[in-house]
Amino acid sequence: MISKKLNNGISIPCIGFGTYKTTVDDGYRIILDAINTGYRHLDTAAIYNNEEEVGRAVRESGVAREEFFITSKLNRNRLGYENTKKEFEESLKKLQTDYLDLYLIHWPRSDYGRDDYDNWKELDRETWRAMEELQREGRVRSIGVSNFLPHHLDNLLETAETVPAINQLELHPGYMQEEAVAYCREKGIAVEAWSPIGRARIIKDPLLIRLAGKYGISVPHLCLIFGLQNDFIILPKSTHIESMKENLVYDDIRISDEDMETIRSMPEAGWSGEHPDRETVKPGL
């Protein structure tokens, strides 16, 4: 399994197993299948409501905890110093582990309409202070963020002692978030792609179908190789063992520089519609 060294010296597997909406039915079995297929990097979150299933699968897999890289994320509606400490302990309890490999702020703002929605700057800073303490205590090996754009990171870094190790963003052909990616690379923040296949929204794109045919692979596989060649950490997900296996194959095919640029330049496609600041626009405007 290929890995990447983060800005704090910790190594992370470049291919992880995303658990969002993969554990609605028989979640424990799906995660155990992923582990048996070869995944050691598991990505979960408090809001996914599957930390218990992830923890059970890890415990019952027969694989030592130290061989896993486990990520969880703080619920956007639980930002703040005290909440972060409390929610972190709850995640550890559900996962039945005494440490996390990576803990992320899931979104920079709480849900629109909450009283604390406009107080995101202070809440993010206080949340980060708590996470820095957890890292110094050895409770979490690396800390980072998710869905943070440059202005969110600017705010965090004004008071941070630790630069985030990772920023997890929606990234796939047709949605490259170039400004955010460039900012992260300038600051030494690794970029992790959620929805690297566009949640299946782009598998019928004619350009991607043509290029996948050229390399003799599927469109999802093309998207994953594209992500790796862009130096992204990728988080594919599947409930089917054969797809899980295919998603781990990465070293036998390389997309040409010309085709990489063609994919990077394709029109916007497959965006989920989720944006950290979208709700600042009043309904109807």
Whether 112 is a known active-site residue: answer no
Q: Are 251 and 195 in contact (CB under 8 A)?
A: no
Read off the DSSP letter of residue 17.
E
Instruction: Give the integer Cα–Cα distance in Å for 167 and 29.
Output: 29
Token couple for 249: 């194959």
Token couple for 240: 């089917």
β-strand pairing of 11-13 with 3-5: antiparallel
Identify residue 205 by its one-letter amino acid code.
D
User: Which one, of 21, 70, 81, lies nearest residue 41 by Cα?
Assistant: 70
Read off the DSSP letter of residue 217.
S
Of 39, 48, 175, 183, which one is the catalytic site residue? 48
Instruction: Give the integer Cα–Cα distance in Å for 130 and 84.
Output: 6
Show which residues are catalytic.
Answer: 48
